[in-house]
Structure 1
Amino acid sequence: MAFLEIDNLHKAFGPNIALHHFDMKIERGEFITFLGPSGCGKTTVLRMIAGFETPTRGTIRLEGRDVTRVRTRDRAVGMVFQSYALFPNMTVAQNIGFSLKVAKLAQKAADARVAEMLELIKLPHLAARYPWQLSGGQQQRVALARALANKPRVLLLDEPLSALDAKIRVSLREDIRALQRELGITSVFVTHDQEEALSISDRIVVMNEGRVEQVGAPLDIYNFPRTRFVASFVGTLNILAGRVIDPAAGRIVVDGQELVTARPLPADDAGKERLLALRPEAILLEPPAHGRNSLAATVEEISFLGAVVRIRARVTNAVISLDVFNDPNRILPERGQPVALGFSHDNLLVLDENAV
């Protein structure tokens, strides 16, 4: 039995369906991220786990107990919001200890727990300050400590880093992951930021229009996307349309040039149009080689991005982006120059949907 089970969850707001038949099993101590664009249903799932929303149908079980219609305060979950939601008239220590006071914990035990949380977030010297005297990153650390103070069974984080600037966001997400591992607490994180999801998750649930597109480890989600949406949403991607000419041999023609996939295709794909995906970093500027695919192209644009140089090259109807590391000794091609784009069979992914 999984620690947290979500079974056939469905949510409608009047005629609008926010979530379609959501299923998920989360193990104890896992860090799960719901990733997707605004309005895809990820926060709706989080709010139903927390008890802020009631499902139209479906079941939520925590350690085998049906909590679908149990009050939020009786679920033993901690919640961290995007907006911090700290009480402005309370000090840092009072904010952290608020849930302990509501739970009527003895004052001595509550004070000890608050002190423990302050040490955990490395802010013991700010215990007497008020929220307005803190930076955004410090306020979110306090919000995290408040959510953890009452020792919840599940920690829920609703885009907690989106209001912070880039450097603080990176630092705080690393702190959140380190704390989660140290405490071993089951956590569900919501974000629209693919880099956040890839960097801190055990598993990622990619969502779109109220449905789950794919669930998997970060490496699987990035390297082996199953649908066009996942491939396009997670990382930069080249999408190509090809026609299958020999399914058994994995042979596909793209703009008059033949490519080969790593695995055979279904026999009934013969003559069909299929969508292919290719990551920019998987492509090399090299002549054709045995066991590798190659596309003849012409350089259209070169962009310097710091550590990476992005080259855009045209293959008849398709434009392909490839990334190379910035090397002062590398001689880059010029605009209008013919080039060969080489990549392995394994890097050419055939997506589930047919091309349209």
Structure 2
Amino acid sequence: MSFLTLKGVRKSFGPQTVVHDFDLEIARGEFVTFLGPSGCGKTTLLRMVAGFETPTAGTIAIDGRDVTHLPPNARKVGMVFQAYALFPNMTVADNVAFGLKVAGRPKSEIRTRVEEMLALIKLGHLGARYPYQLSGGQQQRVALARALAVRPQVLLLDEPLSALDAKIRLSLRQEIRDLQRKLGITAIFVTHDQEEALSVSDRIVVLNEGRAEQIGTPFDIYNHPRTRFAASFIGTLSLLEGEAAGGNRMRVEGQEIAVPAEAHPAGRPLTLALRPEALSLAPSPARTNRLEGTIEDVDFLGSVVRMRVRLGQTTLLMDNFNDPSTPPPERGAKVALHFAPGDGQILDAPLAAAAE
């Protein structure tokens, strides 16, 4: 059953529409990520759920209650901002207590709740410090505790990790996910970082120009993209442009392969998407497709070796696990790439059609 519902939500600023007739149902306790490039409408959607923006059309409901036109303080939502937004003149404990004080809660309740929240984020020993005395990661934890202290029904996170360095981001995103699961709170996470989205989400909403391109689990979004945008925005991808060769065959750069789709009329333009990990230099009974090319470059990435392979006018990316006993091919080497027909996916339109 839906706990948070957005139905027909649209947002326009003057003549420009930034969110187009958006529909989404989120279950209680679900962690949903809005993912997309800058300007795709993800933050505007979040601000409408929070009450900082009012939809031009459509409705927003939380636990069956229409909150479309309610102010933020009447919605029972907690928000964590990208820039922490902590009060610099307040201690950590006072920052966490702020929302509870505004709500007029008794002092004894506030003190107990603040202690609980600081223990939850593992900063109980830093309650008397001020924000400037904390690291970026610690400040964001305090912002998270402040949002959770008021026991919101929905937790909203607006790119909360983008100001942190890579190592801190990795650990803090897992802490956020662990806390969300522990508390069972419904959460919406906004990011442009595909790795963050894939690693923490129950479901991902891929947004493009104010529309949902695809909604699904990380597994489905990555492995079964439904549009060219979803396929190219999530993960690394190679696109093979060619034409149908009859049946389930495709001709690309003068070579013929099998494709994972129903029969196409011969000569019809086709675009095949391939993930780098689908390709291998080693044949196998399942890898019946073979493409011959030339090594353009080799990037050693530690556990993974990424190769760029040129096929006529097309470049394919191939990721293989590092094998200490077998060095990768050198630049200029002729190689054969092998993959299973089911490893690729025919996309919705060829490049030329998508550009029109």
Q: Which range, TM-score by smaller chain?
A: over 0.9
Q: Does 1:317 align with 2:322?
A: no
Structure 2: how far apart are the matches of 1:311 and 1:354? Answer: 25
Structure 2: how far apart are the matches of 1:50 and 1:131? Answer: 25
Residue 213 of structure 1 is matched in structure 2 by 213
Residue 163 of structure 1 is matched in structure 2 by 163
**CA-based RMSD:** 1.3
In the superposition, relative to structure 1, how do residues 54 and 290 fare at CA in structure 2: closer, same or farther (>3 Å)? closer
Counterpart AA for 1:337: A
Counterpart AA for 1:347: D
In the superposition, relative to structure 1, how do residues 270 and 66 fare at CA in structure 2: closer, same or farther (>3 Å)? farther
The count of aligned residue pairs is 352
Counterpart AA for 2:91: T
Q: Could you give the per-residue CA deviations for residues 263-311 of structure 1, whole angstroms, max 9, x where no partner exists?
A: 314x5x5421121100011100035856621101111111112221111
Give the alignment of 1:112-191 within 5 angstroms. Answer: 112-191=112-191
Q: Does 1:195 align with 2:195?
A: yes
Partner of 2:327: helix, strand, or coil?
coil
Residue 343 of structure 1 is matched in structure 2 by 339
Deviation at 1:197, TM superposition (A): 0.3
Structure 1: how far apart are the matches of 2:161 and 2:49? Answer: 20
Q: Does 1:109 align with 2:123?
A: no
- Kept in 1, the 8 Å contact 2:241–2:350? The answer is no
Q: Could you give the per-residue CA deviations for residues 22-62 of structure 1, whole angstroms, max 9, x where no partner exists?
A: 11000000000000011100000000000000011011011
Structure 2: how far apart are the matches of 1:73 and 1:353? Answer: 46
Residue 260 of structure 2 is matched in structure 1 by 262
Residue 333 of structure 1 is matched in structure 2 by 329
Residue 36 of structure 1 is matched in structure 2 by 36
Residue 250 of structure 2 is matched in structure 1 by 252
Give the alignment of 1:2-151 within 5 angstroms. Answer: 2-151=2-151
Structure 1, 176-185 or 255-264: larger mean CA deviation: 255-264
Counterpart AA for 1:299: I
Deviation at 1:113, TM superposition (A): 0.4
Structure 1: how far apart are the matches of 2:326 and 2:228? Answer: 34
Counterpart AA for 2:16: N
Deviation at 1:69, TM superposition (A): 0.3
In the superposition, relative to structure 1, how do residues 270 and 8 fare at CA in structure 2: closer, same or farther (>3 Å)? farther
- Kept in 1, the 8 Å contact 2:92–2:128? The answer is yes
Q: Could you give the per-residue CA deviations for residues 319-347 of structure 1, whole angstroms, max 9, x where no partner exists?
A: 11101112210132222221110001111
Counterpart AA for 1:241: E
Superposition TM-score, scaled by structure 1 size: 0.96
Counterpart AA for 1:50: A
Equivalent pairs: percent with the same residue? 61
In the superposition, relative to structure 1, how do residues 166 and 290 fare at CA in structure 2: closer, same or farther (>3 Å)? closer
Q: Does 1:280 align with 2:276?
A: yes
Partner of 1:299: helix, strand, or coil?
strand
Deviation at 1:204, TM superposition (A): 0.3
Deviation at 1:212, TM superposition (A): 0.8
Counterpart AA for 2:61: R
Q: Does 1:301 align with 2:297?
A: yes
In the superposition, relative to structure 1, how do residues 142 and 288 fare at CA in structure 2: closer, same or farther (>3 Å)? closer
Structure 1, 301-310 or 123-132: larger mean CA deviation: 301-310
Residue 267 of structure 2 is matched in structure 1 by 271
- Kept in 2, the 8 Å contact 1:59–1:66? The answer is yes
- Kept in 2, the 8 Å contact 1:273–1:355? The answer is no
In the superposition, relative to structure 1, how do residues 142 and 344 fare at CA in structure 2: closer, same or farther (>3 Å)? same
Deviation at 1:257, TM superposition (A): 1.1
Structure 2: how far apart are the matches of 1:123 and 1:178? Answer: 16
Structure 2: how far apart are the matches of 1:56 and 1:331? Answer: 59
Structure 1: how far apart are the matches of 2:131 and 2:330? Answer: 54
Superposition TM-score, scaled by structure 2 size: 0.96
- Kept in 2, the 8 Å contact 1:34–1:190? The answer is yes
Deviation at 1:199, TM superposition (A): 0.3
Structure 1, 60-69 or 253-262: larger mean CA deviation: 253-262
Structure 2: how far apart are the matches of 1:290 and 1:42? Answer: 40
